[in-house]
Amino acid sequence: MRIKRIVARNYKTYRNLDLNLEIEKDRPIILIGGANGCGKTTLFDAIYHALYGLKFKGVDEFKQVFNAGAMLDNGIDGQIIMLEVHFSGMVLGQEAQYTLARSYMIYDNSVRESVTFNMNGNKYTYGDHTSAKVRSESEEVVNKIINANLPAELSNYFLFDAMKTSELVKEEQINKLIMKNVNAVMGFNKYYQFQKAAEVLLAEKKAERLENDKLREEYNDLNNKKREAEEELHKMEKQYTAAINYANDHNAEYEQLKAGRNDDEVTKDKIKQIEQQLKSFADTEVSYRKDADALSKDLEIKVVYPKLANIIRTEVEVILNEKKMVERAHANMLSDSQLDKITNDIVKLIEQRYIETGKINVPLIINELKELQRNEMIVQDSYAYLSKHDVELLDNLVKNAVVNPFLAVAEQRDRINAELESVPEKKKQLEDLRRAMNGNDYTLLELYEKNNGKISKLKEDMSLKKDEIAKLKKKIEGYDYDIPQIPDPQYDMLCKLPDFFKKLSSRLLRAKKISIENMMRDQLNLNLVIYAGYIGKVELSAIDSDDISFKIYHKNGNEIYLSQLNAGAKQTVMQVLLKVLYNLGDYDPPVMIDTVMGVLDKESREVILESYFPDLASQTILLSTDTEITTEHDFEKIQAYVAKTYTLHRDKENQCTTITDDYFGLKTSKY
C-alpha cells in the first residue's frame, strides 16, 4: 500500500490541504517538519480518519473538528468537512489505484456522512442518505479493500506516535503485540479459523454416530456449551485487548495527570493556607472596626472617666483615707440617742437605789457628756461637707476604673497596619498559585485505574473460562462412538483436519519465531546503542501459546530486563520490533511516525537516522520538529533517501495551517 495524496477541507487546523505524498523507488521517505502546535499530529489524524472514517456523537463534536477560521468566515450551515486519500495497493499481483473520500455535514441537527470510493474507475457511493442495502453492499467492498491493505486494528502498529512506543515495552503489552502481529499481520489467523471450522463439523459427524438418542443429546449439549464458552472467551479476549490498548494509549497522559494531580494537591494546600491568612486578617480588621466603633460610642465611660480617675486618684485616696479614719474614730463614740438612753437608764437606777441623792438634772448631764465626747475626739473631719453618698461615688470612681481600652485598640490598629503591607504580596501569591493549577479534568485517572482493575478481572475470568473449556473437552472426548462396518474416508479425513491445521500453524509460527528472534537480535545489535554489538540472543518462548514471553540476553548469558531500560532504549526496542514484524509480515503498508525521535539521546538519534529510517519500509512518512531531525546535522544524513519535504506553518490570524515545500528552509537534493 502506498499513500499518494491526502486532501482535507475544514478539518481541524487544515482549511485547505492538498499534499502530494508520492515517493520514488530509492527515496522512500517523506519528511514533514513543523513546530509544536502547527498540525503534525492533525495531519497524522487526517490520514487515519480518511481511511477509517470519523465518528461524531453530535453537532457540538462536529463544531470542535471544523476549522475555526472557516467557521468565523462562513459559519457551518451547508459547510462540509472533507477527507480524501489517494492510495495504491496490490490485487492479484497487479497494482490498483484507489481514491477514498469522506464528507461530513450537519443536516436536520445531526451529522451526516457521505462516502465515495473509486477503484480503477469503478465508483461506489454511499452514506446516511442511501438505503441500508446499498450502503451495506458498498461498505463491504470498501472495507475489504482497506482490510486487504491495512486493517484498522493493525494500523496503530504502522501509524504511530514514537513517544508512546516505549510504553508498549511492558510484559503485558509487548507480548500481546507480538502475538497479535504474528497471528494477524503475518496471516496465520486463517489456520486457526480452519481448525475451528473442522472441529465444529467433526463434532456434528460424531454426534450422528452416537447410537443412543439421550447420549446424542448430551453430547450435542456439551458441544453447545463448549462453543458458548469459547465465544465468551473470545469476547473476554477482545475486551482484554481493548483494555490493554487503552492502558497503552493513555499511560503517558495518566502519568502526567497523576503528577499534575499531586502538584495540584500541594498547590491547593498552599492556596488554602494563604486564603486562611487573608481571612484571618479580614476577621481581625472587622473585629477592630467593631471595637473602634464601640469605643467611639462610649468614649466618656471608657476613656474620659478612666483618664479622670487616673488623674485625681491620689487626691481621692487622701479624702477616702481621712474619711475612713474619721469613721473608725466615730465607731468608738456613742450617738446622741445612745447617750440619751444610757444616761437616762443610769440616772433612773441611781435615783432608785440612792434616794438621798435627790433629784438629778438629766439633760444637763447629757449635754456635758456630749460636750466632753466632742472635746475628746482626736481626728478632725476636714471633709465633713461630703455626704456619705459623695464618698461612695468617689470610692467607685477609683475602684471601678478599668484599663483604658483605647490602648488595646491602638495596638490592634498598629498590628493591622503592619499586616496590611503584606496583603498585596499574599494576593499576588494566591493569583500565581491559582494560575499554576493545571486545570485538568482528572476523570481519566479514575477511568484508567478502573481499566487496570478490569484487566486484572478479565485475566482471572479468562483463566477460569479456559479451565471450563478444558473440562468440557475432556467430557466430550470420553464418549464412545459407533464404528461403522463400512469405511468412511471423508470422516477419517475430517478427524485428521483439526490437528492438521493446528500443527501446520505451529510449524509456521515456529519458523517465524526463529526469523523474528534472529532479525531482532541483528537489528538490536545495530540500533540499540547502549548494547550495540552485545546482544547474544532474543527469545520468544512458547509463541504458539497464550503464555508467550519476550526476552533479550547479553552475549555473556545474562538477561537484559526490559523494565530496566530507559525510555529511549525502550523506544528503540519497540521500533526495532515493529520493523522486524513489518519485514516478516504479509502486509506492506506505509509507516507513519509522529515525534520521530521521541526521547532518544544524541547518539541513538544518529544511529536511527542512518540505520533505521532508510530501509524501514517501502514508504515512510516522518513528522518531526527541528529539534528532533535538526537542519544543522541530521537532515543531511537522510537527505539521499527523502523524496519530498514539507514544513507546516501556523497562521495565527486565520487560524489554519499552511505548507511550504521545504524542511525548515532546506530542500532535498535529487542528485
* pLDDT at res. 248: 67
For cell 495565527, the residue is 652
Within-domain flag for 631: yes
SS (H, E, C) 463-506: HHHHHHHHHHHHHHHCCCCCCCCCCCHHHHHHHHHHHHHHHHHH
Distance of alpha carbon 621 from alpha carbon 599, whole angstroms = 19
Q: Based on the number of CB atoms within 10 Å of its own CB, is 288 exposed (0-12), middle (13-18) or buried (19 or more)?
A: middle
Within-domain flag for 125: yes
For the chain, which ranges sit under pLDDT 50? 171, 185, 671
Q: Are 391 and 320 in contact (CB under 8 A)?
A: yes
Within-domain flag for 495: no
Q: Are 519 and 583 in contact (CB under 8 A)?
A: yes
Within-domain flag for 404: no
Within-domain flag for 429: no
Report helix, strand and coil shares of the chain as percent, to nearest 5: 60, 15, 25
> pLDDT tens digits, residue range 459-507?
899 889 989 988 988 888 776 655 555 666 766 676 677 777 677 666 7
Within-domain flag for 431: no
Within-domain flag for 604: yes
Neighbours of 426 (CB within 10 A): 16
* pLDDT at res. 14: 94
* pLDDT at res. 383: 76
Q: How far is CA 570 from CA 422, 577, 648, in A?
A: 51, 11, 29
Q: Residue 64's domain is classified under what CATH number? A: 3.40.50.300
Q: Which residue range(s) make up the domain with 612? A: 1-158+587-671
Within-domain flag for 123: yes
Q: How far is CA 342 from CA 180, 295, 451, in A?
A: 132, 58, 112
Domains identified in the chain, total number: 1
pTM check: above 0.75: no
> pLDDT tens digits, residue range 18-33?
999 999 989 999 999 9
* pLDDT at res. 671: 46
Instruction: Quickly list DSSP for 425-437.
Output: HHHHHHHHHHHHS
